[in-house]
Amino acid sequence: MFTGLIEATGTVIGLQPTKGTPRIIVAGPAELVQRLHTGDSVAVSGVCLTALDIDSEANHFGADLAAETIARTSLSHLKAGSRVNLELPTPAGTPLGGHIVQGHVDGMGELQSLQPVVMGADSAATDWWLYLSIPENCVRYVVEKGSITVEGISLTVAKLEGNMVTIAVIPHTYTATNLRTLTAGAPLNIEVDVLAKYAERLTAAKAPEFELSLEYLIRSGY
């Protein structure tokens, strides 16, 4: 499990074609890569992957991209030099910061624009308005002031109009994540709040209202 609090950003070295599953290679800071072991989970821009071929000297790791990952996320579209957000799983017993993030992307949204609240201010000193569209299948799980994961970042929805989402981004999030490197039209990995999914499932599974009928009375021995 992750929390959506990004630990660091990394850089895509490339995507290695293979006879089967393609593999993405990501370089990251030494303090993060050296904590990885083969088979560990790592969130790359919101996608939970399994770390492979870890090189602690060159500080990079690989991860295979399953067909489902390729279909649902932006990772196979990234090019060498693309910046990605990195987060390792939250250790048991530690404070839960953002919200429950699984790293199971629901679909790709699209960046519409990222605009400073104070025009002309230092980019690291002003809040930002993030405008994005999300897939139709995600809309019913998103509410104003609710949580949403964008590129692995735990964020709060400020406004929802149809499938258009507005999010307030603080200066720290802007400078510490890959948002600052993205341009309009960029695909965004979206994960909705899993608690909303469970709530929907429980509501759908709710037992039908009781109806007193002749058949019920007969079955009950009356």
Residues tagged active-site: 2, 41, 48, 50, 66, 104, 156
Strand order in 47-50's β-sheet? 47-50, 41-44, 83-87, 8-16, 23-27, 60-64, 52-55
Q: Please name which of 112, 104, 47 lies closest in space to residue 75, comparing C-alpha atoms.
A: 47
Beta strands in 56-186 (DSSP E): 60-64, 83-87, 107-116, 128-133, 147-150, 153-161, 164-169
Q: Are 179 and 173 in contact (CB under 8 A)?
A: yes
Q: Helix (H, G, I), strand (E, B), or coil: what is residue 43?
A: strand
Name residues whose C-beta falls within 8 Å of residue 183's C-beta, 6 or more positions apart in sequence.
111
Q: What amino acid is encoded at 181 in this protein?
A: T
- Other residues' Cβ atoms within 10 Å of the Cβ of residue 176: 18
